[in-house]
């Protein structure tokens, strides 16, 4: 098998192995790590994938990218990641509803697709540290607006030789999200609310990462900081797997023939999920169109249409909060790809973005943006789709999945394309009970998320997912709230 090394989108040629890139998280020049080639899967191999379980498939696909891990090491990581934390052995069920298919990525411990990568990352990091002879304990520092924090906590809880500290805006997450975090068990976990918004938390965390004094103190105690942010290549590659899995499910269900192309619709925020789909396509997975779905924060939609990326606009708080994002970090990897791996172009565009919150790509690159179909859904459209699909099929989508479905409906109107299509379903409706139930009936609009769990269960004939049941019973473990200036001291208190 061909060895794969990782270099920066902004030019620094470290030629790092996968384990080095995973531990570093981001390149020293501020760029993101990209593989120096994308492995190709031919039809014969695709045929073999048909008989593989999710875990076997993961081993095969991830092994093609992380070539410095042995098969044994990877297998161990995968077995630890995708175990009975997941609701079913299938790991990722695919459901046919009407004429479309839903790739349900939300059956992990935190009920959102981020589990797919964050259950695996801690084990990859631990194995990578061993491989690099790093005798240090890894400290994950994260600022979260909701989903990432909990998924990272679940993933890292009680993983040997790691610690995890999560900061969240005290008043800026949903009731369920907050409860998910403050009830987190695990001796190596620490959750802290901050008086401020997500940006405050994020900015301070970035500062702490580069704080030389603290770094030295940590170093003396054999600690080192790392990041579980979605730009880590260790989070991106595990996501490539579920696109292959989705395709194989349609094949197994007899819905398509081998080689037949299908569409995927991806509800997009930081551009990680859809980038993984794009990598799958480059690997040879038969994909026709990739649909990039945005909510009212439609920076990506505008970009795909005009070639101008413009983050200088109002930030809109929507009912699909995990997609409320104006600077999609992972887009940098896509830009790098469509520039023909030209790091000078990327450097220039990222400089513009930092300085003016805006950049525009060349005509040539603009042409390549057509590789993706961009669409967006308003709040009203998102709510209507939840209600329509429920009335027609008794299937309940969460708000993020509904953005994707709504965009798909527009795409059908636009194109009449009758290619088989998978909607990437990123969260359980039980995470957003109030928004989802209000879509079905206005009378729920003033109720609390927690009070609607039973109601949702009855209405949709769905069992309450175990993690939610557990949540209602668990005790609050983390009650620290601090000013942003105290974040550093809280880290010291926890670690030193």
SS3 (DSSP) at 70:
coil
Nearest 5°: phi and psi at 194?
Answer: -120, 150
- Alpha-carbon distances, residue 290 vs 46, 219, 275, 276, 394 (angstroms): 20, 45, 10, 11, 27
Other CB atoms closer than 10 Å to residue 36's CB: what's the count? 14
Q: Does 396 bind ligand PLP (CB under 6 A)?
A: no
What is the 3 state secondary structure string of 232-277?
CHHHHHHHHHHHHHHHHHHHHCCCCCCCCCEEEEEECCCCHHHHHH
Residue 39 or 272: the one with the smaller Cβ distance to ligand PLP is 272
Burial category of 184 from C-beta neighbours within 10 Å (exposed 0-12, middle 13-18, buried 19 and up): buried
Q: Does 333 bind ligand PLP (CB under 6 A)?
A: no
Q: How far is the CB of 303 from ligand PLP (least distance, A)?
A: 14
x-or-dash pattern for ligand PLP, window 401-440, by CB under 6 A?
-------------------------xx-------------
**Candidates 12-20, 108-116, 186-194, 307-315 — which segment interacts with ligand PLP by CB under 6 A?**
108-116
**Candidates 66-74, 90-98, 270-278, 445-453 — which segment interacts with ligand PLP by CB under 6 A?**
270-278
Q: Which of 126, 202, 229, 273 binds ligand PLP (CB under 6 A)?
A: 273
177 touches 147 (CB < 8 A): yes
Structure tokens at 343: 């790091």
Query: d(Cα 375, Cα 355) in Å, to the nearest integer?
Result: 27
Query: d(Cα 239, Cα 79) in Å, to the nearest integer?
Result: 16
x-or-dash pattern for ligand PLP, window 213-252, by CB under 6 A?
-----------------x----------------------
Q: How far is the CB of 135 from ligand PLP (least distance, A)?
A: 33
Query: d(Cα 321, Cα 269) in Å, to the nearest integer?
Result: 9
Q: Which of 227, 268, 421, 433 binds ligand PLP (CB under 6 A)?
A: 268
x-or-dash pattern for ligand PLP, window 341-380, by CB under 6 A?
----------------------------------------
**Candidates 65-73, 111-119, 335-343, 434-442 — which segment interacts with ligand PLP by CB under 6 A?**
111-119
Question: Among residues 139, 175, 170, which one has the least CA distance to residue 156?
Answer: 139
Q: Which of 35, 63, 196, 272 binds ligand PLP (CB under 6 A)?
A: 272
Residue 114 or 178: the one with the smaller Cβ distance to ligand PLP is 114
Q: How far is the CB of 226 from ligand PLP (least distance, A)?
A: 19
In 83-211, which ranges are continuous DSSP H helix? Answer: 115-118, 121-131, 147-156, 175-182, 198-209
Query: d(Cα 327, Cα 52) in Å, to the nearest integer?
Result: 37
Query: d(Cα 254, Cα 260) in Å, to the nearest integer?
Result: 12
SS3 (DSSP) at 290:
strand
Using CB under 6 A, which residues numbered 161 to 220 contact ligand PLP? none
**Candidates 71-79, 96-104, 269-277, 376-384 — which segment interacts with ligand PLP by CB under 6 A?**
269-277
Q: How far is the CB of 212 from ligand PLP (least distance, A)?
A: 31
Burial category of 441 from C-beta neighbours within 10 Å (exposed 0-12, middle 13-18, buried 19 and up): exposed
Residue 111 or 194: the one with the smaller Cβ distance to ligand PLP is 111
Our CA angle for 53, 57, 61, nearest 5°, is 175
Using CB under 6 A, which residues numbered 295 to 324 contact ligand PLP? 322-323
Q: Does 114 bind ligand PLP (CB under 6 A)?
A: yes
Nearest 5°: phi and psi at 310?
Answer: -130, 100
Q: How far is the CB of 398 from ligand PLP (least distance, A)?
A: 7
**Candidates 190-198, 208-216, 264-272, 480-488 — which segment interacts with ligand PLP by CB under 6 A?**
264-272
Residue 46 or 92: the one with the smaller Cβ distance to ligand PLP is 92
**Candidates 116-124, 268-276, 364-372, 484-492 — which segment interacts with ligand PLP by CB under 6 A?**
268-276
Residue 19 or 320: the one with the smaller Cβ distance to ligand PLP is 320
Q: How far is the CB of 426 from ligand PLP (least distance, A)?
A: 3
Residue 188 or 268: the one with the smaller Cβ distance to ligand PLP is 268
Query: d(Cα 61, Cα 83) in Å, to the nearest integer?
Result: 18
- Alpha-carbon distances, residue 36 vs 7, 17, 372 (angstroms): 7, 11, 23
Query: d(Cα 180, Cα 99) in Å, to the nearest integer?
Result: 35
Q: Which of 190, 400, 409, 484 binds ligand PLP (CB under 6 A)?
A: 400
Q: Does 270 bind ligand PLP (CB under 6 A)?
A: yes
SS3 (DSSP) at 476:
coil
Region class of 15: left (phi > 0), else alpha (psi between -120 and 50), else beta: left
**How many residues sit close enough to ligand PLP to count as binding (CB under 6 A)?**
17
Q: How far is the CB of 1 from ligand PLP (least distance, A)?
A: 28
SS3 (DSSP) at 85:
coil
Q: How far is the CB of 160 from ligand PLP (least distance, A)?
A: 27
Q: Which of 108, 172, 267, 465 binds ligand PLP (CB under 6 A)?
A: 267
Binding site for ligand PLP (CB under 6 A): 112-114, 147, 230, 267-273, 322-323, 400, 426-427
């Amino acid at each position: 098998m061909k060895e794969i090394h990782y270099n920066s989108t902004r030019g620094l040629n470290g030629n790092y192995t996968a384990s080095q890139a995973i531990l570093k998280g981001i390149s020293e020049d501020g760029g993101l790590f990209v593989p120096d080639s994308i492995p190709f899967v031919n039809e014969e191999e695709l045929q073999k994938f048909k008989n593989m379980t999710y875990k076997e498939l993961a081993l095969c696909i991830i092994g093609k990218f992380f070539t410095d891990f042995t098969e044994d090491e990877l297998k161990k990581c995968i077995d630890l990641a995708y175990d009975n934390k997941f609701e079913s052995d299938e790991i990722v069920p695919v459901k046919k509803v009407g004429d479309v298919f839903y790739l349900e990525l939300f059956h992990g411990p935190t009920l959102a697709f981020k589990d797919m990568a964050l259950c695996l990352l801690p084990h990859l990091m631990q194995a990578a540290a061993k491989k690099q002879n790093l005798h240090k304990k890894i400290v994950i520092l994260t600022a979260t607006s909701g989903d990432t924090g909990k998924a990272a906590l679940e993933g890292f809880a009680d993983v040997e030789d790691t610690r995890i500290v999560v900061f969240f805006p005290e008043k800026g997450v949903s009731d369920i999200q907050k409860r998910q975090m403050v009830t987190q068990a695990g001796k190596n976990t620490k959750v802290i609310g901050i008086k401020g918004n997500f940006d405050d938390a994020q900015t301070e965390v970035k500062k702490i990462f580069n704080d030389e004094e603290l770094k030295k103190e940590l170093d003396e105690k054999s600690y080192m900081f790392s990041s579980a942010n979605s730009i880590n290549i260790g989070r991106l590659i595990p996501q490539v797997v579920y696109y292959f899995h989705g395709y194989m499910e349609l094949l197994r269900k007899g819905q398509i023939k081998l080689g037949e192309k299908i569409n995927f619709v991806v509800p997009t925020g930081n551009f990680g999920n859809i980038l993984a789909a794009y990598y799958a396509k480059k690997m040879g997975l038969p994909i026709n169109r990739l649909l990039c779905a945005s909510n009212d924060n439609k920076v990506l939609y505008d970009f795909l249409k005009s070639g101008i990326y413009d983050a200088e606009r109002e930030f809109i708080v929507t009912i699909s909060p995990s997609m409320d994002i104006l600077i999609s970090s992972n887009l940098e990897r896509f830009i790098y790809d469509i520039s023909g791996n030209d790091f000078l172009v990327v450097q220039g565009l990222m400089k513009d973005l930092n300085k003016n919150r805006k950049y525009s790509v060349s005509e040539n690159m603009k042409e390549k943006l057509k590789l993706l179909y961009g669409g967006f859904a308003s709040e009203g459209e998102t709510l209507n789709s939840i209600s329509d699909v429920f009335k027609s099929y008794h299937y309940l989508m969460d708000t993020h999945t509904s953005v994707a479905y709504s965009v798909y409906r527009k795409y059908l109107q636009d194109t009449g394309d009758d290619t088989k299509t998978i909607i990437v379903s990123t969260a359980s409706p039980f995470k957003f009970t109030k928004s989802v139930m209000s879509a079905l009936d206005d009378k729920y609009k003033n109720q609390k998320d927690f009070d609607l769990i039973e109601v949702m269960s009855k209405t949709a004939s769905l069992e309450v997912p175990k993690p939610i049941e557990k949540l209602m019973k668990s005790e609050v473990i983390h009650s620290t709230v601090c000013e942003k200036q105290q974040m550093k001291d809280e880290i010291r208190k926890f670690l030193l």
